[in-house]
Amino acid sequence: MGSAESGAFLLLRGRAAASERFEALIRRHVPDVCVVSDPKRALSRCLREPPLVLAVDASDPAGAAAFCGHVRAQPGGDAVFLLAIAERDADLGGLLAAGASDFLLVGDDGAGARARLAVARERAARDAASRQALAQTQARLVLAGRMASVGTLAAGVAHEINNPLAFVITNVDAALRRIGAMERRNGAPRSGPWARSHGDGRGPSSELPEVLSLLEDAREGAERVRLIVRDLHRFSRAEEDRRGPVDPRRVLDSCVHMAMNEIRHRARVVRSFQEVPPVEANEPRLAQVFLNLIVNAAQAIPEGLAAQNVIELSTRCDAAGWVVVEVRDTGAGIAPESLDRIFEPFYTSKEEGEGLGLGLAICHAIVAALGGRIEVESRRGQGSTFRVVLPAATSAEPRAAADAGSGASSELRDGSGLAGAAPQAAPRQRVLIIDDEPLLTRAIAGTLEPRHETTATASARDALTRIRAGERYDAILCDLMMPDMTGMDFYASLAEHAPEQQRRVVFLTGGAFTERSKSFLQQVNARLLLKPFDAATLLSLVDEVVAAP
């Protein structure tokens, strides 16, 4: 083995007569050794910039042992490879007990000393590599735990937002329908936004179009919140590695919604989407890749010049039929010396504290696991282009049940129908509404009442008591998660007391799927309606249930 690299060996020389021989022995086999005689200086240096090997002159065995113990007691001291250099075998036990990693006897001259130093150097290099690998693993575990916590929190927040958002959307839809009906009865012309900005002195009936327009704006705002929460929930789901056909354009749109706070003050988003087939992927993991690339693109652009900068998202197929997704920015670009290391774990060009350097490494790992590749082109001052190339899915249709977040076999509705659908004449049926959110049950009842007879309760136990007493319903809208008795337990009890009512059940959920609820929904053949939902989706689904045999 050749000589050590500069600074790889640091020798703490003693003041005994043998110290000169110790130094000469080390210098003979390690030409670039750095020698110090002050223990404090040696300790400060090895803790600040740890050498590969810290060789300790043990001509004073007691002093060397004390120094080794002092090094080990320091934060980070356990990472220092301590090589004790001694004259006598009798001194080795105390030195090793004090924390020395290995030893060299000065009697081992020539080839023996050279071999011993080579072994020490190799051991030190292995130990350093093992510590680095362990640190990387620990950092990944911390990041994974943090991501899992964020995912759990995001799912919970989405659930808590979806419940009130459900009755906001339902009530706004109801108000839109009723005002629309009043407008038609009164024969008032629709003037839309014009009515808000031009007072014309007309009577109260002329205000209906203005109120209607305000409600439509509120409905549009609520729909934007619904889409943001849906995207947040989709990104936060933990689905192991369950894969299926995924439309990359839809995932890109979702990621733009989530990253808009980073983007809006920095750049315009330009979409150049060509028709592409779905890719075989795990949707939340693919979203993690795209979101990371989009946020990185935004952060490469300074704030305040949004009109002059662009983040372009594009999709196309290459000559081999692979799906190519590109994220291009007009930001600062990447230095040439960084391009070869950009996907390495813990490598980052950001300021300290702004990132762990794991984002692109994780993206690389996810894309590679999907059978694809990720590439980068960049020039300083001219921006960067990240290219994700993925194989097309073998089946043509994107996964329809992605919003369920549970792998459920239940039939899913995501609550995104048309709010203005006109009600159809049909016989009034009995509908039972079970939800512990009273404002939501009131909103659902208000939507259904023009067509159906509704009964609302906040307790699944109360609903079960009614059914045990002989009451029967043509549709049962039941919240999946409730504190008193869950929708799952209610459904199981129906099998014993009124099995024919099970097929009338539609589960309502804000999206906080537990492991138990995931397993339950995979096993039962029940309809599932995601909150928030609009009136058209609700009415359509209830009509479908009551019409079923």
Number of Cβ atoms within 10 Å of the Cβ of 44:
13
438 within a domain of the structure (yes/no): yes
Q: Is residue 194 part of a domain?
A: no
pLDDT at 468 over 80: yes
Question: Of 57, 89, 109, which residue is a domain's last?
Answer: 109
As given in the structure block, the two tokens for residue 81 are: 């490879």
* Residue 154 confidence class, pLDDT cut points 50, 70, 90: low
For 31-92, give the DSSP string. Answer: TT-EEE--HHHHHHHHHHS--SEEEEE-SSHHHHHHHHHHHHHSTTGGGS-EEEEES-GGGH
Quick one: pLDDT at residue 6?
39
More confident residue, 268 or 179: 268
Q: Which residues contact 214 (CB under 8 A, 6 or more apart)?
A: 196
Parallel, antiparallel, or unpaired: how do β-strands 9-12 and 505-509 relate? unpaired
Q: Which residue type is seen at 480? A: L
Check if the beta carbon of residue 313 is closer than 8 Å to that of residue 326.
Answer: yes
Phi-psi sector, 154: left (phi>0), alpha (psi -120 to 50), beta: alpha
Note whether residue 123 is domain-resident: no
Residue 110, burial from CB neighbour count under 10 angstroms (0-12, 13-18, 19+):
exposed
Residues 455 and 381 in one domain: no
Considering the domain architecture, whether residues 406 and 372 belong to the same structural domain is answered as no
Report residue 544 as tokens: 């479908």
Q: Considering the domain boundaries, does residue 435 fall inside one? A: yes
Q: How far is CA 285 from CA 140, 239, 241, 289, 327, in A?
A: 16, 9, 8, 7, 17
Check residue 353 and give left, alpha or beta (phi > 0: left; psi -120 to 50: alpha).
left
Strand order in the sheet with 310-317: 268-273, 310-317, 323-329, 383-390, 373-379
Mean pLDDT value across residues 502-529: 83
Tell me: do 382 and 406 sit in the same domain: no
> Which range among 154-163, 226-235, 370-379 shows the weakest confidence by mean pLDDT?
226-235
pLDDT at 411: 58
What integer pLDDT is reported at residue 215 of this predicted model? Answer: 81
The total of structural domains in the chain comes to 3
- Residue 517: its pLDDT value, please? 81
Q: How confident is the model at residue 248 (pLDDT cuts 50, 70, 90)?
A: very high
Are 478 and 434 contacting, i.e. CB atoms less than 8 angstroms apart? yes
Question: Among 292, 278, 285, which Cα is nearest to 239's?
Answer: 285
- Whether the model clears a pTM of 0.85, i.e. scores above it, the answer is no
In terms of domains, do 297 and 421 share one? no
What CATH number is associated with residue 328?
3.30.565.10
- How are strands ordered across the β-sheet holding 475-479? 411-413, 527-530, 505-509, 475-479, 430-434, 453-457
Contact, 346 vs 136, CB < 8 A? yes
Does residue 422 have a pLDDT over 50? no
Give yes or no for a contact between 55 and 9, defined as CB atoms under 8 angstroms apart: yes
Amino acid making up residue 451 = R
Pair of tokens at residue 369: 């696991």
Which of these three, 63, 88, 109, is where a domain ends? 109
Residue type (1 letter), 354: E
Which pLDDT value is given to residue 196? 41
Q: What percent of the chain has pLDDT over 70?
A: 78
In a domain, 57, yes or no: yes
pLDDT tens for each residue of 384-419: 999 999 999 886 555 443 343 333 345 555 555 444
Same domain for 418 and 500, yes or no, is yes
3-class SS of residue 469: coil
Give the model's pLDDT for residue 404.
Answer: 39
Nearest-10 crossing angle of helices 460-468, 487-497 = 10
Binning pLDDT at 50, 70 and 90, where does residue 114 land?
confident
If asked whether residues 434 and 352 sit together in one domain, one would say no
The span from the CA of 168 to the CA of 35, in Å, is 75
pLDDT digits (tens, 9 = 90+) for 433-464: 999 888 888 889 988 988 899 999 999 999 99
pLDDT digits (tens, 9 = 90+) for 178-224: 887 777 776 655 444 434 433 444 444 567 777 777 788 788 778 77
Q: Which of 109, 138, 170 is the last residue of a domain?
A: 109
Is the same domain home to 249 and 389? yes
Q: 189-203: b or e for each residue (b if 16 or more CB lie within 10 Å)?
A: eebeeebeeeeeeee
Long-range contacts of 180-189 (CB under 8 A, 24+ apart): 180/212, 180/420, 182/208, 183/208, 183/209, 183/212
What are the b/e assignments for 134-167, b being 16+ CB within 10 Å? eeeeeebeeeeeeeeeebeebbeebbebbbebbb
Q: How many CB atoms lie within 10 A of CB 90?
A: 9
Residue 205: inside a domain: no
- Take residue 161 and report the two structure tokens written for it: 């937002």
pLDDT, averaged across the chain: 79
pLDDT recorded at residue 5: 38
Residue 279: per-residue pLDDT: 94
Q: Please identify which residue in the block is written with the tokens 């919140």.
A: 225
Residue 127 lies in a domain: no
The boundaries of the domain holding residue 337 are 243-394
At residue 310, φ and ψ (nearest 5 deg) are -135, 140
| pLDDT above 60 for 547 | yes
Q: How far apart are CA 209 and CA 194, in angstroms?
A: 9
DSSP character for 459? -
Q: Report the pLDDT averaged over residues 310-318.
A: 95
Q: By percentage, how much of the chain surpasses pLDDT 90?
A: 23
Q: Are residues 256 and 369 in the same domain?
A: yes
**pLDDT for 414:** 59
- Residue 326 falls inside a structural domain: yes
Confidence check: pLDDT of 345 > 90:
no
Together in a domain, 316 and 370: yes
**Same-domain check for residues 389 and 424:** no
Sign of the C-alpha dihedral computed for residues 122, 128, 132 and 133 taken in this order: positive
Specify the higher pLDDT residue, 427 or 352: 427
Is residue 524 domain-shared with residue 461, that is, in the same domain? yes
Do 305 and 340 sit in the same domain of this protein? yes
- Terminal CA-to-CA distance of the chain, rounded, Å? 83
pLDDT at 353: 45
Let me know if 287 is exposed, middle or buried by CB neighbors in 10 A (0-12, 13-18, 19+).
buried
Provide the pLDDT confidence category of residue 337 given band limits of 50, 70 and 90: confident
Please report the DSSP string for 361-378 in residue order.
Answer: HHHHHHHHHTT-EEEEEE
Q: Which residue has the higher pLDDT, 142 or 506?
A: 506
What CATH number did the domain enclosing 479 receive?
Answer: 3.40.50.2300
